[in-house]
Amino acid sequence: MVDRLVNSEANARRVHNVEQCFGSSGQPLGIPGRVLVGEGVLTKICRKRPKPRQFFLFNDALVYGNIIIHKKKYNKQQILALEDVKLENVNDDGNLRNGWKIINPKKSFVVYAATATEKKEWMAHIRKCVEDLLTQRGVSRSCSTDSPVWVPDSEAKNCMHCSKSEFSMVNRRHHCRSCGIVACNSCTNKRWLLPEQSTKPIRVCLTCYQKLSREASQNNVTRKYSLNAGGDDRVSSADDSSDDEDDVMSGRRRETIEAEQLAINDAHFHSYN
């Protein structure tokens, strides 16, 4: 079915519509051979709270973004290459049900579908697209190191590295980009270049820093790190997941919440196959 859609006017129109919804802030999506397989709303576990995000499954990429106006406008576009995507089931936990991990060298996270049927459909379609893509390109899964799933802020009252530092308005939480733990500034004051995640050295915990240093030394690789001097996190903030951040404008934030709620009420996987 995907092959029949490659050059269809209907598919070209759908891809164009997705581009239009992201506007100038998004990357062009209309490339030869690309097919929009399906779309829908999933609840993504972000560092501060679970948030609905609009997801678009193409035959070669998984695209998602923040919902500004349901079905009309999205921003903070993220694109994950499907050939590097892996899925891992997440067991139900209280009100968090029907979830799974989306694992990728660039970014990994947990999402939840509205129902068990939705979860089954999403996972089946993603896996089929990945398998077809690898077969078509005649390649195997990438050996690149996958990025970690970040521990949500709410699950760490104290530093997960030293277990001593208690978080507060002054003592901020930071995430290790190598293992995903929540740690204090002192325990994450080193940086390392993780090219799959960023073009600049990014924050890692002391344990991961030592591990990466050892591996670099054993492989005769030049150390690619710097000290986060003075605890200045301005560079680090650029490496944070931009789609996790809330809009600081109260009026815009209210509009976004309303749009997200509308999207949740209409959440379902829409397949174009």
Cα gap 109→21, rounded to integer Å:
23
DSSP string, 219-239: TTPPP-EEE-GGG--HHHHHH
Tell me which of 232 and 241 has the higher pLDDT. Answer: 241
The whole-number average pLDDT for the span 133-149 is 85
Confidence label for 38 from pLDDT (cuts 50, 70 and 90): very high
Confidence label for 244 from pLDDT (cuts 50, 70 and 90): low
Of the spans 1-15, 101-115, 132-146, which averages the highest pLDDT?
Answer: 101-115
Q: What is the mean pLDDT of the chain?
A: 86
The whole-number average pLDDT for the span 85-93 is 96
Q: What is the dihedral of CA 34, 37, 43, 46, to 10 degrees?
A: -20
Which one, of 36, 87, 53, 245, lies nearest residue 153 by Cα?
A: 245
Cα gap 201→181, rounded to integer Å:
17
pLDDT at 253: 59
pLDDT at 236: 40
